[in-house]
């Protein structure tokens, strides 16, 4: 066995001093009941938040024009989801980069979503007894892309000035089959049928809400509701919770990066924040192995407060020799 | 206050614990028992003494963290008994959800105080690096566990958090396989996979604390200059010049 130089931030002088009585089982038991009492008290006094979720139905009922203006962007492929890139689609140039590498593009589009088909045409195709709608869908799908784009663009412009009086009202124009498709999609949404169509799976039990959540997030409604509840990213976003609850306060550092440049201004902000957090987490895990960092506690000297009785007892001992 | 000096012979203890009663070669089970008993004899596993320097309320935060974790698990088990929709329609369910929430909040509060206290003590010293690493890993995985819990609430919070969080996770490429918008996937991670990993790391962490003991204080730098000291290769201990190296010589708390 060889020896090496003693390093105070890595090695210890083994304790050969006195020991005192200690009751581990009693400490754990008392701690459990103290914490239980605290938890029951907090639960009885403050309860927990449970704000109703936004559904396609509640969104299209509360803000039908926002729904239609979003739906047309899903049909023409210009929505946030349609142009998102990986993992939903392969939009050229999409996907944040860490230096020269796009990790998202390397992972690929494993959750393929075609908003035109998945959010609009396929759900509309499930509506029964609607020959006019079936004909409109057939006409739209059979038309060349340039014609579809012309109809979509015309309807997008009209939807921005549309009104709603129980049905969507747009000024007369060359919308082709799109006008009927959007009107029926709105009716479907307001009935609740679109929620079901977007979560349907080959099995009876659907548990994947990717499509309705992306559709809802593409609109303005959820964003506005979240802003009113102080949940936006620039309001320290995800770490907050509805109401006056502490939320995920332990995400403060992660959320903090989103408030400051370059993270808050970069188009690659998300991946930069994650890279920073991964690096900091790795440093924390490996702290005992990193010279310099592992010396910080010794220089901070907070340990003298924790072990003040020990140091006081040392100072009271008669010096040897 | 009484002094107590133990110097268990690990090898002998292991042999005694592993020995087959009929004198035959020890079985795998016997050897495993031997190693376990040598590493964690009963007075290490459940000690009734501790070094005199363990005299601060900050030491209680480790036990408080474990207590809060136990309540998190118990309240989560009650919620699991009735299914994920129960607490939205039942006042009793809402109460248990509140217990789950507040025990989680306290769990993180206690754990963060515990972590910073251990940082201030440089508690990785003296072969305790694995104790630190498993503790931090338990903390990091607990964050992921709590996060999936927030995603599994089926209310506006979970909707908003998932649609916001997807951008960060998708940007790393992980979103292709770990879809925060998939309620079923997140619920399974929250109630099965991640708690199992947290439990594993917390268990290893606690056993390491019992095996290695509470880190001793730094030498008193206000006292007269200390003699030159050396450490053994494994960093287990150090002895003053002229004193024997103390590898494997650990007190009852070690």
> Over the stretch B159-186, which tens digit does the pLDDT of each residue have?
999 999 999 999 999 999 999 999 999 9
Q: Are A207 and B70 within 8 A, CB to CB? A: no
pLDDT for A123 beyond 60 = yes
Q: Does residue B24 sit within a domain?
A: no
CA atoms within 13 A on the CB side of B78: 15
pLDDT for B223 beyond 70 = no
> Chain B contacts of A239, Cβ < 8 Å?
none
Predicted confidence at residue A53, as pLDDT, reads 96
Domain boundary among B67, B97, B121: B121
Using CA atoms, how far residue A228 sits from A232, B160, B161, in Å, is: 9, 13, 15
pLDDT in tens, A93-106: 888 999 999 999 99
> Chain B contacts of A313, Cβ < 8 Å?
52
Predicted confidence at residue B10, as pLDDT, reads 60
Say whether both B194 and B208 belong to one domain: yes
CA distance B18 to chain A (A): 27
B226 — pLDDT class (breaks 50, 70, 90): very low
Q: What is this model's ipTM?
A: 0.93
Say whether both B93 and B138 belong to one domain: no
Say whether both B59 and B114 belong to one domain: yes
Predicted confidence at residue A316, as pLDDT, reads 80
Q: How many domains does chain B have?
A: 2
Residue A109 touches partner B, C-beta closer than 8 Å: yes
Say whether both B90 and B158 belong to one domain: no
Of A142 and B248, more confident = A142
Cβ within 8 Å of B, A 156-195: none
Residue B81 touches partner A, C-beta closer than 8 Å: no
Cα–Cα distance between A168 and A271 in angstroms, integer? 40
DSSP string, B68-130: HHHHHHHHHHHHHHH-TTHHHH-HHHHHHHHHHHHHHHHHHHHHHHHHHHHHHTTTTTTT-HH
pLDDT in tens, B20-50: 666 778 899 999 999 999 999 999 999 999 9
CB pairs under 8 A between A and B: 349
Instruction: Give me the residue from B1, B128, B246 closest to A20, CB to CB.
Output: B1
* Segment A179-192 mean pLDDT: 97
CA atoms within 13 A on the CB side of A88: 25
Say whether both B85 and B104 belong to one domain: yes
B73 is in which domain, residue-wise? 55-121
Number of Cβ within 10 Å of residue A253's Cβ equals: 13
Q: What pTM was estimated for this model as a whole?
A: 0.89
Q: Which residues contact B220 (CB under 8 A, 6 or more apart)?
A: A311, A314, A315
Domain boundary among B121, B143, B166: B121
Helices (H), chain B: 10-18, 28-39, 42-45, 60-82, 86-89, 91-120, 129-151, 156-171, 183-188, 194-212
Cβ within 8 Å of B, A 113-132: none
Say whether both B106 and B135 belong to one domain: no
CA distance B27 to chain A (A): 31
Domain boundary among B70, B97, B121: B121
> Chain B contacts of A91, Cβ < 8 Å?
none
Say whether both B129 and B69 belong to one domain: no
Residue B188 touches partner A, C-beta closer than 8 Å: no
A125 — pLDDT class (breaks 50, 70, 90): very high
pLDDT for B74 beyond 70 = yes
Say whether both B147 and B174 belong to one domain: yes
* Segment A180-194 mean pLDDT: 97
Q: Does residue B150 sit within a domain?
A: yes
> Chain A contacts of B50, Cβ < 8 Å?
19-20, 22
């Amino acid at each position: 066995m060889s020896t090496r130089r003693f390093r105070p931030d890595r090695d210890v002088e083994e304790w050969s001093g006195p020991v005192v009585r200690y009751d581990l089982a009693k400490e754990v038991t008392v701690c459990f009941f103290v914490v239980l009492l605290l938890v029951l008290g907090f639960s009885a006094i403050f309860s927990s938040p449970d704000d109703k979720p936004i559904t396609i139905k509640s969104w299209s009922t509360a803000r039908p024009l926002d729904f239609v203006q979003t739906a047309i962007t899903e049909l023409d492929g210009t929505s946030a989801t349609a142009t998102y890139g990986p993992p939903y689609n392969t939009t050229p140039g999409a996907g944040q980069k860490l230096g020269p590498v796009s990790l998202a593009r390397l992972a690929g589009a494993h959750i393929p979503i075609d908003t035109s088909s998945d959010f609009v045409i396929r759900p509309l195709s499930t509506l029964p007894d609607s020959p006019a709608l079936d004909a409109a869908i057939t006409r739209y799908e059979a038309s060349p892309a340039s014609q579809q784009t012309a109809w979509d663009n015309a309807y997008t412009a009209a939807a921005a000035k549309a009104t709603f009086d129980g049905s969507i009202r747009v000024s007369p124009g060359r919308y082709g089959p799109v006008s009927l498709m959007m009107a029926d999609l709105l009716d479907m949404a307001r009935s609740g049928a679109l929620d079901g169509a977007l979560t349907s799976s080959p099995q009876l039990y659907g548990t994947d809400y990717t499509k309705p959540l992306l559709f809802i997030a593409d609109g303005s409604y959820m964003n506005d509701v979240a802003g009113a509840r102080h949940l936006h990213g620039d309001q320290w976003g995800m770490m907050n919770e509805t109401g006056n609850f502490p939320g995920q306060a332990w995400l403060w550092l992660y959320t903090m990066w989103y408030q400051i440049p370059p993270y808050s201004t970069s188009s690659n902000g998300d991946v930069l924040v994650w890279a920073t957090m991964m690096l900091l987490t790795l440093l924390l895990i490996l702290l005992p192995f990193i010279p310099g960092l592992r010396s910080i506690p010794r220089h901070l000297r907070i340990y003298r407060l924790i072990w003040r009785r020990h140091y006081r007892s040392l100072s009271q001992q008669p010096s040897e020799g | 206050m009484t002094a107590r000096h133990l110097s268990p012979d690990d090898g002998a203890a292991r042999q005694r614990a592993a020995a087959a009663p009929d004198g035959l070669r020890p079985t795998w089970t016997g050897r495993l028992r031997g190693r376990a008993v040598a590493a964690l004899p009963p007075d290490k596993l459940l000690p009734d003494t501790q070094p005199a320097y363990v005299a601060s309320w900050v030491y209680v935060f480790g036990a408080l963290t474990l207590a809060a974790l136990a309540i998190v698990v118990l309240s989560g088990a009650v919620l699991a008994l009735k299914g994920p929709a129960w607490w939205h329609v039942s006042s009793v369910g809402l109460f248990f959800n509140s217990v789950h929430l507040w025990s989680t909040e306290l769990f993180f509060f206690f754990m963060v105080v515990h972590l910073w206290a251990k940082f201030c003590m440089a508690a990785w010293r003296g072969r305790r690096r694995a104790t630190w690493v498993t503790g931090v890993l338990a903390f990091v995985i607990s964050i992921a566990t709590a996060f999936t819990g927030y995603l599994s609430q089926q209310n506006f919070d979970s909707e908003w958090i998932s649609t916001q969080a997807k951008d960060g996770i998708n940007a790393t490429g992980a979103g292709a396989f770990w879809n925060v918008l998939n309620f079923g996937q997140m619920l399974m991670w929250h109630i099965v996979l991640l708690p199992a990993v947290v439990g594993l790391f917390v268990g290893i962490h606690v056993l390491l604390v019992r095996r290695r003991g509470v880190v001793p204080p730094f030498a008193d730098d206000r006292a007269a200059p200390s003699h030159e000291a050396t450490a053994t290769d494994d960093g287990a201990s150090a002895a003053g010049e002229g004193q024997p190296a103390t590898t494997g010589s650990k007190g009852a708390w070690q």
